Amino acid sequence: MALAATVQAWLLAQLGTTTPLADLETRYTRLGTARAVAIEVLYERKAALIQQPTSVQVPGVVGVTFTENIRAIERQIALLEAGEPPAPDDPPGTESNTGDTVQLGVFRLAERPRR
């Protein structure tokens, strides 16, 4: 299964432009959907971050913490699992798990007669 240009662009937007295209192509062939590829890559990144110390402190010099990075990846995974943002290869008619749909309409305002 070839990786279409729209799917490739969506994956790079979700995962960053430094993600190797050959890796994305292999995963897409194996998993079949862009959403599954993005979720798998993010789970791997989360696991790699969790394996490292979450903070490094050198008193008086520097302090670095990675807990917000882990939380950001968890939020992105949750959104992808809920169906947001829509992937170009999502089956037609699929919506987010919340069932919310956005519909736009036009309301015409008319002045009521005064009494």
Q: Which neighbouring-strand residues pair with 63?
A: 57
- Other C-beta atoms closer than 10 Å to the C-beta of 28 total 21
H or E element, residue 27: helix 21-31
Residue ranges covered by each domain of the chain: 1-115
Determine contact, residues 24/11, Cβ cutoff 8 Å.
yes
pLDDT per residue as tens digits for the range 2-38: 788 999 999 999 999 999 999 999 999 999 899 999 9
55-59, 70-74, 87-91, 95-99: least confident range = 95-99
Backbone angles phi, psi at 63, to 5 degrees: -140, 125
Four-CA torsion 86, 90, 95, 96, nearest 10 degrees: -60
